[in-house]
Structure 1
Amino acid sequence: MGLQWVILSYVVAAEAAVALFLTLPSPSIIKSRIVSLVSLILQPALGIVPFAGFQLMDIYWKQEHRLMCTSETCTAAERDRYEKSIYKAQRNAILCLAACLLYWFVHRICNYYKELQRLEEVEKRRKNL
């Protein structure tokens, strides 16, 4: 059960590194190659969005069907286990949302640079005329 969260955390870390790498200043030749490489990776990486969505639905279902431990009959160990499960669910929900949000950031950054390259080429053609 924990393997899916490990995979999701590695994906979030990789997406954050790619987003950081794309936003660092670099020469235009290197930047265009990086953007083209990341754009090729984005299509297969889209699978992370439904995976994270499914995990969010799983978290929601477990939250709705979790046994409550709020009465006085609960022991301290049961209350600690309940609170720990709540914290883990919150952490995992943030991880799922971060995966989707970072994927969207990387996608938008790549589209921005592609549009910028296209506009620069149009400008060069207009100067040559």
Structure 2
Amino acid sequence: MALQWVILSYVVAAEAVKSRLVALIALVLQPASGILPFVAFQLLDLYWKNEHRLMCTSEICTAEERIRYEKSMFKAQRNVILCVLACLLYWCIYRICKYHRDIKELEEAEKRLKAE
């Protein structure tokens, strides 16, 4: 029961500071200032490593070299997927904050029109 009260108090506190929190997150998540330069650097690094990676496709490669080559390819592919997903997550959070701010502005405009 105590855990439920703690969770309820956290929810109430989050609702109380939601507008300030959303404004802060929207300010921090300005496009091209957060994660986008980091992701661009990571993608360029992955591209450079892929272009300068030693190929192990001939018969003289040992089984260990071939396994290491395949592992490095899988890691590079995983990192590209993670970079793309980070961009998508960043964009989704940014858009949610922007929509929340737009809704607040529309609610304030509606209140002003009703008051007049």
Cα deviation code 1:75-94 (max 9, x no counterpart)? 10000000000011111111
SS at match of 1:70: coil
- Mean Cα deviation higher: 45-54 or 105-114: 45-54
1:111 equivalent among 81, 98, 116: 98
Structural RMSD (CA): 2.2
Cα deviation code 1:45-85 (max 9, x no counterpart)? 92421111011011011111211111222110000000000
Question: TM-score when scaled to structure 1?
Answer: 0.70
CA distance in 1, matches of 2:93, 2:40: 18
CA distance in 2, matches of 1:128, 1:110: 27
2:51 is matched with 64
2:36 equivalent among 49, 55, 65: 49
1:97 is matched with 84
Note the residue ranges of structure 2 that are not aligned, 5 or more in a row. Answer: 1-13
Give yes or no for contact 2:46–2:76 (8 Å, CA) kept in 1: yes
- Mean Cα deviation higher: 43-52 or 95-104: 43-52
Note the residue ranges of structure 1 that are not aligned, 5 or more in a row. Answer: 1-25
Identity %: 63
Task: Please state if 1:126 is matched with 2:113.
Answer: yes
CA distance in 2, matches of 1:52, 1:98: 10
Q: CA deviation at 1:44?
A: 9.7
Q: CA deviation at 1:40?
A: 3.1
Matched pairs, number: 104
